Structure 1
Amino acid sequence: MQQEGNKTVVQQNGKPADSVVKLEVIMPVAVAINVSRTVGWFTSQYPVVLDMSYTDDLAYQIKRVKEDLRHIPNKGIGYGLLRYLAADEHKAGLTFSFKPEISFNYLGQFDSEVQTDLLSPSVYDMGAQTSPESEALYALSLSGMVRGERLVVSCAYNKKQYLRATIDQLMDRFHHHLLVLIQHCTAKTDRDFTPSDFTASELQLEEVGDIFDMLAEKFG
């Protein structure tokens, strides 16, 4: 991991590369399955390759990530089904070689779901959720949730691999870039569209931009 100017760049083998991130999302359960005795929720975990080659163009980068995520079928649930549950003949030629170093899990917004007259989310730390002897699957594990109308993000890391000062610096950069994204989006007066906003999903991102440029030229 390397600080480059005002950007946090994830590197592989010493060279800037696409970032491989493991995403975790909450999944609905098929109605045919009886989960009445189940406590908790089901999630889908899958690796995502994010193209970081346009980091100098913030507007394009936001649209590119949006399109990449929207093109993942069924929020990635097929990855785990294929890798862990499918018969070997259905996995011929597949290696599942992606090994994300960063995990990101957005837990959701808890204010409206949990808040009642009698109950509300605790402000106290719940303590360790896993054994300190357990093996970390990722170099960094980020979790986020909206609580008390605020986005709360935590970062789990290996203390033998990273100094606390390094993680503090990383989270400061995360906070800075998040504010930059928010300021960019809230400052816009016109809505930007991307291919996934339309039924003509075969359009490329650049083509949609060209179409709207031509319309603006013609109709002002």
Structure 2
Amino acid sequence: MMRRVPHHGTGYGLLRYSRNINYKDPEISFNYLGAFDGLEGTLKMSPFKPQHDIAAGRIREFDLDINAMVAAGQLEVKAVYTDVFAPGAIEFFMNRFHTHLGDIIAHCSGKKEREKTLTDYSHTELTAQALSSIEDLVKGL
């Protein structure tokens, strides 16, 4: 289930309205590969790095591929992109992504009590306003 993030997520508008993008809106793919911790003996990450991320003759499906995974307790995020982007645009984007992710982690880490969000419930028609009303009704119970 996709998370319902306010303002369409951290990077909404960052790429679309940036002056660092040439003539067209980029096609973006975000792929979270999962957590690879605790798989010792089952799977092993290769120590070898490929020379290329994609075969030379293959046309990229997306102008920007963002791949993320957790390995050795660390979140790794990698961006692979085409020349649609101006020099420095992806570095700028990834720096902003890192900053916003740090802000989210700090915000969540500072919470004293657990908070439920819309994605904690399976009812797809539940709205933020309805959830807030339900929370108000059951607060003192």
The TM-score with structure 2 as length reference comes to: 0.70
The letter for the 2-side match of 1:165 is G
1:103 shift after superposition: 0.1
> Per the alignment, in what secondary structure is the counterpart of residue 103 of structure 1?
strand
1:7 shift after superposition: 6.1
Rounded Cα–Cα distance in structure 1 between residues aligned with 2:47 and 2:58: 26
The letter for the 2-side match of 1:112 is G
In structure 1, what is the equivalent of residue 31 of structure 2?
105
- Decide whether the 8 Å contact of 1:8 with 1:173 is kept in 2: no
> Per the alignment, in what secondary structure is the counterpart of residue 84 of structure 2?
coil
Residues 167 and 173 from structure 1, CA distance in 2 versus in 1: closer, same or farther, beyond 3 angstroms?
same
Residues 213 and 166 from structure 1, CA distance in 2 versus in 1: closer, same or farther, beyond 3 angstroms?
same
1:148 shift after superposition: 1.4
Matched, 1:141 2:65: yes
Sequence identity, in percent? Answer: 30
| C-alpha RMSD of matched pairs (Å) | 3.2
- Decide whether the 8 Å contact of 1:145 with 1:152 is kept in 2: yes
Matched, 1:11 2:16: yes
Matched, 1:131 2:81: no
Residues 109 and 199 from structure 1, CA distance in 2 versus in 1: closer, same or farther, beyond 3 angstroms?
closer
- Decide whether the 8 Å contact of 2:26 with 2:84 is kept in 1: no
In structure 2, what is the equivalent of residue 116 of structure 1?
41
Residues 201 and 164 from structure 1, CA distance in 2 versus in 1: closer, same or farther, beyond 3 angstroms?
closer
Deviations, residues 60-107 of structure 1 (Å, cap 9, x unaligned) = xxxxxxxxxxxxxxxxxxxxxxxxxxxxxxxxxxxxxxx981101111
Rounded Cα–Cα distance in structure 1 between residues aligned with 2:119 and 2:89: 38
Structure 1 portions without partners, runs of 5+: 1-5, 15-98
The count of residues paired between Structure 1 and Structure 2 equals 125
Rounded Cα–Cα distance in structure 2 between residues aligned with 1:108 and 1:121: 13
Structure 2 portions without partners, runs of 5+: 1-9, 20-24
More helix by share: 1
> Per the alignment, in what secondary structure is the counterpart of residue 88 of structure 2?
helix
Q: Which has the higher contact order (CA 8 A, sep 6+)?
A: 2
Matched, 1:190 2:116: no
The TM-score with structure 1 as length reference comes to: 0.47
- Decide whether the 8 Å contact of 1:111 with 1:148 is kept in 2: yes
Alignment of 1:52-201 (within 5 A): 101-113=27-39, 115-116=40-41, 120-158=44-82, 160-198=83-121
Which of structure 1's runs of 4+ aligned residues deviate more than 6 A?
none
Q: Tell which structure's C-alpha radius of gyration is larger.
A: 1
